[in-house]
Structure 1
Amino acid sequence: MKFTVDRAVLLKALAHVQSVVERRNTIPILANVLLEARDDALRLTATDMEIAIVEEVPGVQVARAGRITAPAATLYEIVRKLPDGARVEFDQSGDAPLALRAGRFATSLMVLPVDEFPSMTEGKLPHQFALPAAVLRNLIDRTRFAISTEETRYYLNGIYLHTTEAEGRPVLRAVATDGHRLARVEVDLPEGAAGMPGVIVPRKTVAELRKLAEDVGGEDPIQVALSDTKIRFSFGTVNLTSKLIDGTFPEYERVIPRGNDRVLRVGKKEFSEAVGRVAAISSERSRPVKLALARHHLLLSAASPEQGQAQEELDSDSVSYDAGPLEIGFQARYLNDITDQIAEQVEFRFADGSAPTIVTDAARPEALYVLMPMRV
């Protein structure tokens, strides 16, 4: 195999694929990236056996077609440190190391047999549809903060993607929860998605997909194909294939309260900044911020045995609350994780000081959040 490629386009592709490679693993081949050069293109593949990213780099000068594997992290670091504008030449044959040259720089990398490199991209994915990139990013951004990191409840370690009906119309819904908060966001059901199984997309896949989709135009489509066990996202020259979490997502609708009739509406900016200020009194991330409500009145407070206490009263012009007095506490970080998803006005719906609270964006009803209170 012998080919020459621009450093900039190679670096971008390597940055994408090498991020799935586990730095520590017991299978040496999984630390490598598969390079396939043919037809004036270079195809790079990396996998950790749970996720595989394949990216094609066009405009490559292929002198001799072939396939080889090379250590992903080392190759990425070498290319990253080459000067801008460099042309990188790769040359390898037989069992010899992979020779890499750029200007006066030259190195060689040990290779592993291509036959040992696993394939994750095979198999049928019968359910296929497309989502605009901006829509998919929105689904991810407004739910992923609630994904659980508790490995014992592995079925919560991802985003549950499924079809359902909302107010008489079919929707595609994304849900995540860690038992302390729940995020639920929905969009109109894309053509072709009807009949798809409910699937749990793993946390690592969600993170990689979000990074890869960052530069995709808002209206550009991202193709989604899935089965009961696998999902693939395709856009531009990139394909991301992932196994799905083999588990049953809980019946989340049962934890969404129905009778919360005490409604607080407050400006997002004022509320978030006040939460940050009063929470700064304590270094403990789990310490609650207390909300004390009365008619058109909101007082936020926090206390720490070591540091003291802090409180802030929000201006009545930014607070709308007509129900009876109420005191309720929430973890500050959880509050801000949710309000970060809201544009201008936050709407809280309370039942009492110990029941789950519903949080929504007054202007964007397609998203709903549930937050469990803390004792104060």
Structure 2
Amino acid sequence: MAVDFTIAADVFAGLVAKIDKVVERRNTIPILSNVHVQAEVDGTLLIKGTDLDLEMHTTTEIAAEVQTAGATTVPQKLLADILRKLGKNQVRFKADETNATVSAGRSSFKLLTLPDADYPEIKGVHDKDAVEFALPKARLRRILNDCGFAISSEETRYYLNGVFLHAVDGRLVSVATDGHRLAKLEQEAIGSIGEMPGVIVPTKAVRLFKEMTDWTPEGEDIAIRVDTSKIEFSATGFRLLSKLIDGTFPDYQRVIPTGNPNRMMVDPEAMQGAVDRVATVSSERGRAVKLTLADGTMTLTVQSPDAGIGTDEIAVEMAQPFDLELGFNAKYVNDALGTFPFARVEFALGEPGSPAVIRNPNDEHRLVVLMPMRV
């Protein structure tokens, strides 16, 4: 279909760039590398991209000067690169059935198009079954920051390749685990989520939480609609629709210890530094760091058969004196500590073979569980 409009290049570029992390560069369906460009009679410019699992729509309040309303599809990366280099100049976009011309001043580019009628579309959230609520920007970003690091990348257990969202006592609970570590976060939502089904939001959608909060205007919340198969996030200027993972998330409550008696307070930055230093002796991924706890001191040890031994010590505050020796994956320890930007965190420890629970002592609604390693 033909389309012809003029708009500032930087405005157009901003809309196309937002599609970047949705569109796949390499795929067996050529049109999925394209972005769908649509101009309405009233000057509304709509940009859409999809990978068949995610679908992103972007628009702007700045009206285009539309000569011919219509739509087409062009290569997303190529269009984004061209628009970015045209600065703030007015750009004319004109397309017919086979080509699109992007021109500004003396610059002109001709791009191949594919029919807009062939562009795939994901069926939206079912209105009848939808649960609707909203989250302030900071709360949506917390799901990524506090749980995202624990998402599994193991394809055989595909049901762990995302964040499990569900309602507990009217609060939104987010959980991620890869079987070696688990992160859980409870937050208040705006609106009723009592009927919300438990759903698994895939990793690719979760990774876009940061971008969506950056795009959302200050003071505006992000609206969320969800049914049993899809979830939609929207605010001024964008709408993201994502398919959900069709699987059953495990009963995560069973792996959260409730009776670990050995409790201590740690400076997370000091512990991160010590773990990083002792792990220097090993190039092996997943090397265990041994923690020896006694008399208010944590001794950290990493041993490598090829390089030697690294040790370090930091002070800890024990609720009651205890002696304990146990091991954890050094990378997982530092990943978890990096999500606690506080002066102190609490470790609740049990027997050497028991999982550890890490919390901010001032936040009862968030925790991380680390599974132990043999040392």
TM-score clears 0.5: yes
Partner of 2:121: 119
1:333-374 CA distance string (max 9 Å, x none): 100111111122121111111111111112222111110011
Q: 1:289 to 1:73 in 2, by over 3 A?
A: same
The 3 A distance-change label for structure 1 pair 217 and 339 is farther
Corresponding position: 1:258 with 2:258: yes
Once residues 304 and 13 of structure 2 are traced to their aligned partners in structure 1, the CA distance between those partners, rounded to angstroms, is 48
Number of the residue aligned with 1:158:
162
Contact 2:349/2:355, CA 8 A, preserved across alignment: yes
Matched with 2:372 is 373
Aligned to 1:143: 147
Give the letter for the 2:91 counterpart: V
SS of equivalent residue, structure 1 residue 197: coil
Is 269-278 or 170-179 further displaced after alignment?
Answer: 269-278
The letter for the 2-side match of 1:307 is: A
How far, CA to CA, are the matches of 2:313 and 2:228 in structure 1? 51
Residue 65, structure 1, aligned to residue 69, structure 2: yes
CA contact (8 A) 2:134 2:189 kept: no
Identity, in percent, stands at 40
Task: Provide the residue aligned with 1:53 in structure 2.
Answer: 56
Map Cα deviations across residues 19-38 of structure 1 (whole Å, 9 max, x no partner): 21111111111111110001
Q: Is the 8 A contact 1:41 1:61 kept in 2?
A: no
Matched, 1:238 2:242: no
Aligned to 2:207: 207
Partners in 2 of 1:273 and 1:10 — Cα distance?
A: 45
Instruction: Give per-residue Cα distances to partners, 1:233-291, cap 9 Å, x unaligned.
Output: 00111000000000010000011112111112111111111111111221112111111
- What is the root-mean-square deviation of aligned Cα atoms in Å? 1.5
Q: Does 1:179 align with 2:182?
A: no
Describe the superposition over 1:57-87 as per-residue Cα deviations: whole angstroms up to 9, x where unpaired: 23211121111111111111222222x2222
Q: How does 1:1-376 map to 2 (within 5 A)?
A: 1-38=3-40, 39-57=42-60, 58-82=62-86, 84-93=87-96, 95-125=97-127, 126-165=130-169, 170-216=170-216, 219-315=219-315, 318-320=316-318, 322-342=320-340, 343-376=342-375
* Residues 1:191 and 1:237: Cα distance change in structure 2 (over 3 Å): same
- Determine the C-alpha separation between the residues in 1 that align with 2:59 and 2:320: 58
SS in 2 for 1:163: strand
Hey, what's the Cα distance between the residues in 2 that align with 1:76 and 1:237? 18
Distance 1:211 1:189, change over 3 A: closer
Q: Which amino acid aligns with 1:80?
A: R
The aligned length equals 368
Greater shift, 209-218 or 239-248, is seen at 209-218
The amino acid of 2:56's aligned partner reads I
How far, CA to CA, are the matches of 1:348 and 1:275 in structure 2? 15
Given that 2:182 and 2:369 are in contact with CA atoms closer than 8 Å, whether structure 1 keeps it comes out as yes
State TM-score, norm by structure 1.
Answer: 0.94
